Amino acid sequence: MYGEIANKLILDAKRTQNLSEIPLYQTDLVKDILKEIQDLNNDSEYLIEQQQQLEEEPLTEEEMKINQCQIFVTQLSMRRNKRCLLAYERLRSEKIVEFSWLNVNPIIDSSTSTSSGSGSGSGNSLNNSKSKSSGTDSNSIYNNYTTSLTIDNLNHAEQDYYKGYQDLILNYKSKFSDIDLSGDLEPPTNIFIDVRVLKDAGEVQTEYGSFNLIKDSQFYVRKSDVDRLIQQGYLEEL
């Protein structure tokens, strides 16, 4: 049935909409939808051509309505498939944009994790950190934010888009070297906050010294020093 494959794609996109990572690109489903669109286009052209031929012959009003209805349903199905594809691509592009602003290295291979982020202007650095970023708990403002990206999950066009967008961000940030443009958009209520470590990530350097990110340990630190780590899912604010 026409439109069924596109519906599967949208349902899959809806399920992954609030994930903190970008899932694998549905190459097979997209190819099947594109083939279906081509088949629908061929059917539409055939029906239009048939209608033009029938117009030269006397037709009953019912026969004309049947032919017009077939053309309408065929073209409507084709448009619906295209809208589903565009919605799917837009959702993934928005998640790529979200991740790009975190200034975190993407995961190169699905089996290994090489995320080692450092926030520009915040003075944070992760030493020997190899931990896949994940979403924070439901109390965090970064819940459902895209904090993890595996390059293998993107198709070739998406990889080019990610690299191009990264270049745009770097070029834009270079004009404001004294401001961390990828920091928290909400103003802090306290200068110092209590945080809990969600996963091991090694030693972190801050303006007030260094501390080790050991899972389940707690620290009282300056919020601006750990904003990036909260974004990346290493810490949660208590």
Nearest in space to 230 (alpha carbons), one of 96, 104, 95, 94: 104
Q: How confident is the model at residue 212 (pLDDT cuts 50, 70, 90)?
A: confident
- Domain residue ranges in the chain: 4-94, 101-238
**With left for phi above 0 and alpha for psi between -120 and 50, is residue 102 left, alpha or beta?**
alpha
Q: Which of 27-31, 81-85, 228-232 has the lowest mean pLDDT?
A: 228-232
Please check whether residue 218 is in contact with residue 195, taking contact to mean a CB–CB distance below 8 angstroms: yes
Looking at residue 124, what is its pLDDT? 34
Specify whether the CB–CB gap between 149 and 156 falls below 8 A: no
193 against 85, higher pLDDT? 85
Predicted confidence at residue 175, as pLDDT, reads 81
The pLDDT, as a whole number, for residue 157 is: 92
Q: Evaluate if residue 159 carries a pLDDT over 50.
A: yes
Please say if the pLDDT value at position 60 is more than 90: no
Residue 188 is given by DSSP the state: P
Any idea what DSSP says for residue 113? -
The residue type of 162 is: Y
> To the nearest whole percent, how much of the chain has pLDDT over 70?
74
Place of tokens 């990346």: 232
Query: Residue 127: what pLDDT?
Result: 31
pLDDT digits (tens, 9 = 90+) for 214-225: 888 888 887 777
Confidence of residue 82 (pLDDT cuts 50, 70, 90): very high
Per-residue model confidence as pLDDT tens digits over 168-194: 988 888 887 777 666 666 666 777 888
Alpha-carbon distance of 191 to 182, in angstroms, equals 18
d(CA 142, CA 167): 24
- Nearest-CA neighbor of 91 among 43, 146, 33? 146
Does the pTM surpass 0.75? The reply is no
Mean per-residue pLDDT, 142-159: 80
Return d(Cα 116, Cα 2) in angstroms, integer.
Answer: 45
Residue 129: pLDDT band with limits 50, 70, 90: very low
Q: Which two tokens stand for residue 81?
A: 């498939």
**Dihedral through CA 34, CA 27, CA 4, CA 69, nearest 10?**
-10
Q: Which residue has the higher pLDDT, 147 or 115?
A: 147
d(CA 53, CA 49): 6
Name which of 30-34, 155-159, 210-214 the model is least confident about: 210-214
Q: With contact defined as beta carbons under 8 Å apart, do 204 and 210 qualify?
A: yes
Residues in the chain: 238
pLDDT at 98: 85
Q: Average model confidence (pLDDT) for the chain?
A: 76
Which residue type occupies 157? A
CA separation for the pair 112, 148 (Å, rounded): 13
